[in-house]
């Protein structure tokens, strides 16, 4: 059996990550692919509940370092589940992951490498689809500005930090300006198919050697 595909959808606020991860999951299901969606922060775990309070209650204060380590710990709460699903051949779709963790905390001024270190050792995605607007004026989506962090100038700093990952071998940028939900969905599906085909071919080569 081949290891399942790990696909992370990342990006700036309101670019459609949650919309697209749930559509991708539906399409995978319809295609007969056994897939699981995990969203970070996963707000229902013990650590996730603290994160939820932090994000929604501006009176609840944490140092930037503590908040960062909680977001990372939240991923470690799910790490074994992700690894087990992949080893069982299941596909796992992530709505935000390590890259959001590093980008948001380093945008607050914490050192980039320090931010990355507590996440080292987590399962590495086969592909990271980074959703962004090419033109900032297009950031007019519903719900913007309700939670901590959703301020334009801060978003610009987050973008700069995210882009430090853009030369990684698993990184792919998806521009969402003026594209319908369906159009973005097609771009994501095409990227998924490339990775899934690569995994199948790798398995076939391995089988031939036996």
Residues at the contact surface with ligand Z5A, assessed by CB under 6 A: 13-19, 40-41, 55, 71, 96, 100-101, 104, 141-143, 147, 149-150, 176, 179-181, 184
CB atoms within 10 A of CB 185: 18
- Closest CB 18 distance from Mg ion, rounded Å: 3
- Closest CB 3 distance from ligand Z5A, rounded Å: 24
Q: What's 163's DSSP letter?
A: G
Measured from the CB atom, is 101 or 196 closer to Mg ion? 101
170 binds Mg ion (CB under 5 A): no
Measured from the CB atom, is 3 or 15 closer to ligand Z5A? 15
Measured from the CB atom, is 3 or 82 closer to ligand Z5A? 82
Q: How many helices (H) and strands (E) does the chain have?
A: 7, 5
Report CA Rg, the chain: 17
Choose which of 14, 17, 68, 75 interacts with Mg ion (CB under 5 A): 17
- Closest CB 155 distance from ligand Z5A, rounded Å: 8
147 contacts which partner out of Mg ion, ligand Z5A, none, CB within 5 to 8 A by kind? ligand Z5A
Helix 98-107 vs helix 152-162: angle between axes, to the nearest 10 degrees?
130
Choose which of 18, 36, 45, 170 interacts with Mg ion (CB under 5 A): 18
- Closest CB 150 distance from ligand Z5A, rounded Å: 5
| 116-123, Cβ contacts within 8 angstroms, sequence gap of 24 or more | 118/68, 118/69, 118/72, 118/73, 119/72, 119/75, 122/75, 122/76, 122/79, 122/82, 122/97, 122/98, 123/6, 123/79, 123/82, 123/83, 123/86
């Amino acid at each position: 059996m081949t290891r399942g595909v790990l696909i992370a959808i990342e990006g700036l606020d309101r670019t459609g990550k949650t919309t697209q991860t749930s559509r991708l999951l539906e399409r995978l299901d319809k295609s007969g692919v056994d897939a699981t969606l995990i969203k970070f922060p996963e707000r229902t775990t013990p650590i996730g509940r603290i994160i939820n309070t932090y994000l929604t209650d501006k009176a609840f204060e944490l140092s930037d370092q503590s908040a960062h380590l909680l977001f990372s710990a939240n991923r470690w709460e799910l790490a074994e589940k992700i690894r087990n699903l992949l080893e069982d051949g299941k596909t796992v779709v992530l709505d935000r992951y390590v890259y959001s963790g590093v980008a948001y905390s380093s945008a607050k001024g914490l050192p980039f490498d320090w931010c990355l270190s507590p996440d080292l050792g987590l399962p590495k995605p086969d592909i990271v689809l980074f959703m962004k607007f090419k033109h900032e004026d297009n950031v007019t989506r519903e719900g913007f500005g309700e939670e901590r962090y959703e301020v334009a100038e801060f978003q610009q700093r987050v973008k700069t930090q995210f882009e430090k990952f853009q030369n990684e071998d698993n990184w792919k940028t998806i521009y969402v300006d003026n594209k319908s939900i369906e159009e973005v969905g097609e771009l994501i599906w095409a990227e998924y198919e490339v990775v899934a085909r690569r995994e199948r071919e790798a398995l076939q080569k391995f089988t031939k050697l036996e």
